[in-house]
């Protein structure tokens, strides 16, 4: 399983989202090996990850990726928003968490 945080430059906001996801996976005590990384929109394709996290105004830049794999975030610093999305995915994928 791989989560990829994506932003325009691939080094600012996406990096923040990556860290947020990682700290949430730790909080949720997820044992399964989930890879989390960050990237710029230009270098991602549908195969780059299982789920893509992106700031909602960049949605169109990920047009080639199936909608079900794209998580749109309204705020990148609202940990609860990211947590809700991560937990929903974990449930959907039947991955154990707290």
Partner 1 sequence: MLLDLVNSNTVQVVAGSDMNWKQAIRLAAEPLINNKTIENEYVNEMLKVVESEGPYINIGPNIALAHSRPAGNVHKIGLSILKTDTSINLVSDKHPINLWFVLAATDNNSHLSVIQELMEILTDESAVKAMLRAADKTEILNIIAHKLELQK
- The binding site for partner 1 (CB under 8 A) comprises 7-13, 15-16, 19-20, 38, 40, 55, 57-58, 61, 75-79
Rounded Cα–Cα distance for residues 95 and 37 (Å): 19
Check if the beta carbon of residue 20 is closer than 8 Å to that of residue 46: no
Rounded to a whole number of angstroms, the minimum distance from the CB of residue 10 to partner 1 is: 6
CB of 4 to partner 1, least distance (A): 13
What is the dihedral sign for C-alpha 82, 85, 88, 94?
negative
Looking at the Cβ atoms of 7 and 34, the one nearer to partner 1 is 7
The phi and psi torsions of 80 (rounded to 5 degrees) equal -65, -40
Nearer to partner 1 by Cβ, of 12 and 84: the residue is 12
Task: Output the smallest distance, CB 39 to partner 1, in A.
Answer: 9
**Cβ distance to partner 1 smaller for residue 1 or 15:** 15
In the complex, what is the shortest distance from the CB of residue 84 to partner 1, in angstroms, rounded to a whole number? Answer: 15
Q: What separation in angstroms does the CA of 45 have from each of 4, 5, 22, 30, 90?
A: 11, 13, 22, 26, 22
């Amino acid at each position: 399983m791989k989560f990829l945080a994506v932003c325009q430059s691939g080094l600012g906001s996406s990096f923040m989202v990556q860290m947020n996801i990682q700290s949430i996976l730790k909080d949720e005590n997820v044992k399964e090996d989930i890879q989390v990384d960050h990237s710029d929109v230009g270098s991602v394709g549908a195969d780059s990850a299982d789920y893509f996290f992106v700031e909602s105004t960049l949605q169109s830049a990920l047009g080639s990726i199936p909608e079900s794999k794209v998580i749109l975030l309204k705020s990148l610093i609202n940990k609860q928003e990211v947590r809700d999305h991560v937990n929903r995915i974990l449930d959907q994928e039947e991955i154990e968490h707290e």
